[in-house]
Amino acid sequence: MRGYDSFVTEVRKKVFTEVARLAYEGGEYGRKIEEIPYRIVPGEMASHRESIFLERAIAGERVRLAIGLPLRPVYEHKALSDGISASAIAEKYYDPPLINIINYACNACPTKQVRVTDVCQGCLSRSCQQVCPRDAVTFKQGKSVILQDKCIKCGKCADACPYHAIVRMERPCEVACGMDAIGSDEHGRARIDYDKCVSCGQCLVSCPFGAIVDKGQIFQLIHAMKSGFKVYAIVAPAFVGQFGDLLPPEKLTAAMRILGFESVVEVAVGADLCTLDEAREYLERIPGKNTYMGTSCCPAWISMVETYFPDQFDHISMTLTPMVLTARMVKKEHPDAKVCFIGPCAAKKLEASRAHIRSDVDFVLTFEELQGMFEAKDVWFADVEGNEPLNQASGGGRGFAVSGGVASAVQEVVLKLAPEVEMKIAGAEDLRECRKMMALAKAGKYNGYLLEGMACPGGCIAGAGTIRPIKQSANLVEKYKKEAPFETPLYDPSP
């Protein structure tokens, strides 16, 4: 749903804005939070659901999740403000689960089915019936009918229909989940198997009913700023263009200071460090210790390997992710500061909550959540004055945002460090494709390769927290990559 406005994206935007405004204004949170659903869903009549009370109830749960609070159980009374006082603090990590389904917002969409539409002409060839391997297609009153108890969902009838009158129906969140972590509860509503879920967030941006929501830290971040902490924003390479033409990279730092941030650092700097480390690690491990090596940057890809290929986990690079490397760099220079990673990724929230990383990254926000902060502070990008170019990283580091960027950056450094080494690379985007790639690697098909896994189709620019269309973002990142002050992290600026 990236790149165009809908009721779902509009509600998300309003929720983040209202939560940010609540934190900035302070005061009596218990009373103020109860008013928010009425601002998000004003009036007397429902616009998109059967009642305005349902719309407001869903908006209320979204507000709670954006604050980092859990969903309320439907079977007992709890105030919307329940737990908010304990969350009005300068530091709070995500309580599991990170990705949540608001049950009464779920449409209980049908799972995989093949259906005949009204377009059926009742033709004489009856090709749909002829190709069906289970005799699941019959005719009633001259029209094709599929017997669901016999149908095996192969789709051969749909392929054979000359009028394209037969369609394959699949639940969008299930299709988007490359981990097969989404099933159904006893009421037919979507349910997440958290033993499989890696928090990539692709389900939440694929649900047309906005029933799947991740937790946020906007509330705690703003409290940290108000408490006097210096908070440094480390911004993922995919940021370029996310906020439109009126906020180019050179104005970003000035805009972020209006929100209360101390300064801004490109995570592409950490990507450069990651590139160097992975290049050296590849040269040490391949061949010898391992037959192939996987990149370390995408936390959802790493979790997928842990879940489905635990015996292959030692093939994954031990290098820290660009987010963590950048955060450690900032905290080394500013030990008392807090660090907020701002990026496109829901899985980064999960990564930052792990015990060994909590001291490095204090907050994780998506671009959507940051947009809510800009809205809450009435920041007009056209009026922002500032000219502080982010010239800290190489083109290769900036290219991490797009699928293939990590592996190609590492390959380029390996070529310079050891030109005699023939380094081959392969990549997959979307966790289903990543699983296929890992199966082949396990079977010995990628010996000598560096494998890049990306959970999101297109790379980080397609993360669950992005705003702009994926293709547009890819073009903007490529342009920004070319504008980098140097091409690779091996550049030596000394004369």
Looking at the predicted structure, is the pLDDT value of residue 91 above 70?
yes
Q: Is the pLDDT of residue 495 over 60?
A: no
Comma-separated ranges of CATH 3.30.70.20 domains in the chain: 113-169
Rounded to whole angstroms, the Cα distance separating 301 from 452 reads 9
Rounded to an integer, the average pLDDT of 149-166 is 96
Angle value at C-alpha 316, between 314 and 319, nearest 5 degrees:
115
Q: How many residues in the chain?
A: 495
d(CA 19, CA 134): 54
Q: What is the pLDDT of residues 307-328, one digit of tens each?
A: 999 999 999 999 999 999 999 9
Structure tokens at 167: 């369609």
**CB-CB contact of 472 with 401 (8 Å):** no
Average pLDDT of the chain to the nearest whole number: 95
Does the pLDDT value for residue 441 go beyond 70? Answer: yes
Query: pLDDT band at residue 185, thresholds of 50, 70 and 90?
Result: very high
Here the tokens at position 39 are: 């601002």
Q: Let me know if domain 113-169 sits in CATH 3.30.70.20.
A: yes
Cα distance between residue 293 and residue 183, in whole Å: 33
| Amino acid identity at 106 | C
373-395 pLDDT, tens digit per residue, is: 999 999 999 999 999 999 889 99
Q: At how many degrees (to 10) do helices 367-376 and 218-226 cross?
A: 50
Ranking 1-5, 127-131, 383-387 by mean pLDDT, the lowest is 1-5
Gap between the Cα atoms of 465 and 54, Å rounded? 25
CB of 265 closer than 8 Å to CB of 235? yes
Residue 447 is predicted with a pLDDT of: 96
pLDDT in tens, 470-482: 999 999 999 999 9
Beta strands in 299-432 (DSSP E): 338-343, 363-366, 424-429
Residue 4 confidence (pLDDT)? 72
Fold of the domain built from segment(s) 228-482: Fe-only Hydrogenase (Larger Subunit); Chain L, domain 3 (3.40.950)
Give me the helix-helix angle, 218-226 and 7-25, nearest 10°: 20
Query: CATH 3.40.950.10 region(s) of the chain?
Result: 228-482
Question: What number of H helices and E strands is found in the chain?
Answer: 18, 15
Per-residue confidence (pLDDT) for residue 47, from 0 to 100? 87
